[in-house]
């Protein structure tokens, strides 16, 4: 296994915006839950359920984004993610076929981008900080 870690990518804070938005939208429903919600109306129960669902999904997605680790080793690109169940994917650098990088204008100003790495059958995309630097390190290790 690849034990020497050459570079580790950072997940950019921008990938945490959507989960935080879900949490912010769902939080008032939890605050209002014990106060004066009339459970006789199906509309108020459905409305409350949707916002509680958004809150739970936001918490889950935020924990999931915080658990992602992307590392470049001597021979592998290792991606680890998961909250309760951990998933590890090792992509052989010499089998890597393509690297796509997408940076919007806002992404260039704030220093993030979406990097897509494909090996023919597997393609993974991540929103990371400093995608140009990560791409250069990845190509440097591939052609070593």
Q: Mind listing the pLDDT tens digit for each residue in 112-137?
A: 999 888 887 778 888 899 988 988 88
Beta strands in the chain (DSSP E): 5-9, 69-73, 76-81, 87-92, 98-102, 112-118, 123-129
Structure tokens at 112: 């993030």
What's the predicted TM-score (pTM) here?
0.78
For position 35, what pLDDT does the model report?
66
| Residue 1 scores a pLDDT above 60 | no
For position 136, what pLDDT does the model report?
87
C-alpha distance from residue 71 to each of 23, 52, 94 (Å):
29, 35, 15
Contact between 76 and 95 (Cβ < 8 Å): no
Structure tokens at 107: 């992404």
91 and 129 in a common domain: yes
Q: What is the mean pLDDT of the chain?
A: 85
124 DSSP β-pair partners: 117
55 and 81 in a common domain: no
| Residue 60 scores a pLDDT above 80 | yes
The three-class DSSP label of residue 119 is coil
For position 137, what pLDDT does the model report?
86
On whether residue 10 sits in a domain, the answer given is no
92 and 52 in a common domain: no
**Spatial distance between the Cα atoms of 64 and 70, rounded to a whole number of angstroms:** 13
For position 19, what pLDDT does the model report?
95
C-alpha distance from residue 3 to each of 78, 124, 128 (Å):
11, 22, 23
Number of structural domains (the chain) is 2
Structure tokens at 29: 């429903």
């Amino acid at each position: 296994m690849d034990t020497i870690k050459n570079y580790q990518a950072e997940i950019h804070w921008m990938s945490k915006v959507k989960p935080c938005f879900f949490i912010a939208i769902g939080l008032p429903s939890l605050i209002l839950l014990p106060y004066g919600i009339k459970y006789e109306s199906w509309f108020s129960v459905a409305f409350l359920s949707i916002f509680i669902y958004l809150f739970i999904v936001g918490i889950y997605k935020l924990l999931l984004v915080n658990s992602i680790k992307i590392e470049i080793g001597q021979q592998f690109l290792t991606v680890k993610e998961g909250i309760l169940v951990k998933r590890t994917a090792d992509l052989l650098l010499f089998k890597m076929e393509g690297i796509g990088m997408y940076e919007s204008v806002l992404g260039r100003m704030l220093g993030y981008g979406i990097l897509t790495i494909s090996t023919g059958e597997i393609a993974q995309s991540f929103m990371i900080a400093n995608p140009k630097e990560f791409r250069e390190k990845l190509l440097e290790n591939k052609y070593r």
